[in-house]
Amino acid sequence: MEVKNKIAGAVYGMALGDAMGMPPELWGRERARKFFGGKITEFLDGPAENDVSVNYKKAQFTDDTGQALVLLDSLAATNYKPTAKDIAQRLLAWADKEKAFENNILGPTSKVALANFRDGIDARAFTDKALSNGSAMRIAPIGCLFRPDQQQELLDYVFGVSQVTHTSDVTIAGAAMIAEGVASAIVHDDFEQVLQDILAIEPAGYQRGCETFSARLAERVKIGIALAKQYKNDEDMFLAKIYDVVGAGVGIIESVPAAISIAYYAQNPNRCSLMCANLGGDTDTIGAMATAICGAFTGYSTIKPEYTELLRTQNPDTDFDSYINILVKGRDLLA
């Protein structure tokens, strides 16, 4: 399949999973099921009762995709050389435009780190201890720039674009796993190989960041994959087990393994986006990560046209084609 189609699948897949998972964001599984009358089956407005997603209308993506596009704007402006100052300035400009500080849109680590940058305070002591998923939620498009065998180059790049807000071992490793998942999904047609590549980059990711006392991401992923195999014919039970055992919170040790496990189970962006939306917890972020991998795996052409059309309509300031072209150009330069 054409590489550009796979890259487009990753970009649209990220926005799809993000927007589909937006309405129940940060609600518990039972609360979401009761509020939405069972399963979410389509794009929905953010409920007035949800103090995070109330800011969005149906099919609008959130900060996950928004920040990912900021990274791409920065890379295009710096000739694909990650520049922490430029990324931080652009993230702050985006946050001001979106009123992200006032509307409780930013994650806990990014909020403090960006505020420190704005105020001229060195945030490294804080970012070295980060355990949240901000580094991974926005990283998926970076995987489009590399082949899966370029693990060291990808890892260095992930650190370069993440260090403004996240410099701990688990947050760098988690982001690298998502990016590597996209990189592998672009070139492989066997998801077992994608999984193998994801797990293979994890140890080097831990070495790249500052040590924390977190559980290991690969071990959590292995639990999720075992659950996927055990409940391969029972999607609802699989999601319940992921929620109960692996976790679906904003901690990267929960959300990244959950995303990888659901991507492995679904292997299709349309199905993946709905599964993530019905998981409970950090549904938009898990959806963005998982569905980006699935979109890269199957390509843009497999995403429902009604989904992609509504994403374009509801996010009119986003030129999806321009971002896809930024990634195609960058891949030619770096891969």
For residues 55-68, give the mean pLDDT. 96
The Cα-based distances of 6 to 13, 67, 154, 285 in angstroms read 10, 21, 18, 20
For residues 42-60, give the mean pLDDT. 96
Whether residue 328 is predicted with pLDDT greater than 90 in this model: the reply is yes
Whether residue 291 is predicted with pLDDT greater than 80 in this model: the reply is yes
User: What was the pLDDT predicted at 125?
Assistant: 80
Number of domains in the chain: 1
**Contact (Cβ atoms closer than 8 angstroms) between residue 133 and residue 173:** no
User: What was the pLDDT predicted at 98?
Assistant: 79
Whether residue 51 is predicted with pLDDT greater than 80 in this model: the reply is yes
Could you report the per-residue pLDDT of 268-280, keeping only the tens digit for each? 999 999 999 999 9
**Contact (Cβ atoms closer than 8 angstroms) between residue 287 and residue 277:** yes
Percent of the chain residues past pLDDT 90, beyond the cut:
87
- Give CA–CA dist 18/53, Å, rounded: 11
Q: Provide the domain limits for residue 296.
A: 3-334
- Give CA–CA dist 98/195, Å, rounded: 35
Percent of the chain residues past pLDDT 70, beyond the cut:
99
Q: Is 251 helix (H, G, I), strand (E, B) or coil?
A: strand
**Contact (Cβ atoms closer than 8 angstroms) between residue 265 and residue 238:** yes
For residues 96-104, give the mean pLDDT. 77
- Give CA–CA dist 171/131, Å, rounded: 6
User: What was the pLDDT predicted at 237?
Assistant: 98
Q: Give the burial string for 114-123 (b: 16+ CB within 10 Å, else e).
A: bebbeeeeeb
User: What was the pLDDT predicted at 246?
Assistant: 98
Whether residue 300 is predicted with pLDDT greater than 80 in this model: the reply is yes
More confident residue, 332 or 124: 332
Whether residue 1 is predicted with pLDDT greater than 70 in this model: the reply is no
Type of residue at 296: A
Could you report the per-residue pLDDT of 143-194, keeping only the tens digit for each? 999 999 999 999 999 999 999 999 999 999 999 999 999 999 999 999 999 9
Domain with residue 187: its CATH number is 1.10.4080.10
pTM, entire model: 0.96
Could you report the per-residue pLDDT of 103-140, keeping only the tens digit for each? 777 777 777 777 777 778 777 887 999 999 999 999 99
For residues 243-252, give the mean pLDDT. 98
